[in-house]
């Protein structure tokens, strides 16, 4: 996939001189004062600008938004099967196991990756010993919240669909001051987006990255970016951050020996030569 990019106004003080020079290419290029709106439609409009006319793109990295991935409902907890009722206490569970049998769940995977930041659960409680109480849940190692997730009584099973945060090991804690059996079925998970702004030397620029393990320049105009999960089936895109209609960015994520790595090629469209630049790479999986 190739993308011919146009001049953006990056928040890169290092590139101020280059940006100013590019803006002199045409008297018809006008940039309004103030911070450009982060609306990707501005980029689409800029695509119609004639070669040599500087354009400021408002395309920015996708930020901290997480993406939801649905899975077939799958039981990960049932204390009636394993572990026993939770009585006036708390217990830690794992959402990312290869088998959930130890937690009373499926004897196999539910396809929740270890990079998940939270999981969507149908979390339920079955009162024991006539208890009327509640369940709280949070990412293990973080502060206990004030709010409850499920309120239960002796009338029968009660369940709520909740978003449960997990820690870096996929763990979460459930607590009750009462007594109840707990069950939980996972229906999906959330993951961070995959993107990076890369500088000419191959490093991540100004910490603008998500899900990136490492990046490097292999040779002139050739870069590798390694992410924290398999990206072979992701849709990849590359954008030149700096100059107007001068470079083509090609992102290859299908032929690397490492399924977590993409190779990025930068080519000057005027000369056909490989060259280094600041660029932005993103993946949609």
Label residue 18 by pLDDT band (50, 70, 90): very low
More confident residue, 95 or 248: 95
pLDDT band at 73 (very low <50, low <70, confident <90, very high): very high
- If you average pLDDT over every residue of the chain, what do you get? 81
Query: pLDDT for 139-173, tens place per residue?
Result: 999 999 999 999 999 999 999 999 999 999 999 99
Q: Is pLDDT at 84 greater than 70 in this prediction?
A: yes
Would you state the pLDDT for residue 37? 35
Given the structure tokens 């982060």, which residue do they identify? 38
Full-prediction pTM beyond 0.85? no
Burial class of residue 262 (count of CB atoms within 10 Å of its CB; 0-12, 13-18, 19+) = buried
pLDDT score recorded for residue 281 = 94
Distances in Å between the alpha carbon of 272 and those of 6, 265, 268? 17, 12, 5
- What CATH homologous superfamily does 67-190 map to? Nucleoplasmin core domain (2.60.120.340)
Q: Give the mean model confidence (pLDDT) for residues 97-118.
A: 97
pLDDT, residue 245, reads: 54
Per DSSP, the three-state class of 21 is: helix
Region 34-40: mean pLDDT is 36
Mean pLDDT of 265-285: 91
CATH 2.60.120.340 residue ranges of the chain are 67-190
């Amino acid at each position: 996939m190739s993308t011919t990019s146009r001049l953006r106004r990056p928040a890169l003080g290092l590139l101020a001189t280059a940006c100013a020079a590019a803006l002199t290419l045409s008297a018809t290029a006008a940039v309004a004062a103030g911070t450009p709106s982060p609306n990707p439609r501005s980029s689409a409009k800029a695509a119609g600008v004639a070669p040599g006319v500087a354009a400021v793109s408002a395309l920015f990295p996708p930020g901290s938004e997480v993406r939801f991935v649905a899975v077939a409902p799958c039981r990960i907890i049932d204390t009636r099967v394993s572990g026993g009722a939770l009585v006036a206490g708390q217990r830690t569970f794992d959402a990312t196991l290869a088998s959930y049998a130890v937690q009373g769940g499926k004897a196999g995977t539910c396809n929740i990756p270890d990079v998940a930041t939270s999981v969507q659960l149908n979390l339920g409680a079955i009162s024991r010993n006539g208890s009327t109480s509640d369940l709280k849940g949070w990412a293990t190692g973080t502060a206990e919240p004030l709010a409850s997730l499920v309120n239960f009584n002796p009338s029968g099973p009660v369940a709520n669909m909740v978003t449960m945060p997990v820690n870096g090991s996929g763990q979460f804690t459930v607590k009750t001051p009462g007594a109840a059996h707990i069950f939980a079925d996972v229906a999906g998970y959330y993951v961070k987006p995959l993107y990076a702004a890369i500088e000419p030397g191959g490093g991540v620029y100004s910490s603008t990255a998500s899900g990136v393990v490492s990046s490097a320049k292999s040779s002139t105009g050739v870069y590798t970016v390694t992410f924290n999960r398999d990206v072979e089936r992701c849709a990849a895109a590359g954008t030149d951050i700096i100059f107007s209609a001068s470079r083509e960015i090609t992102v290859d994520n299908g032929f690397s020996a490492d399924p977590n790595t993409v190779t990025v090629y930068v080519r000057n469209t005027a000369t056909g030569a490989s060259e280094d630049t600041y660029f932005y790479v993103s993946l949609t999986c």
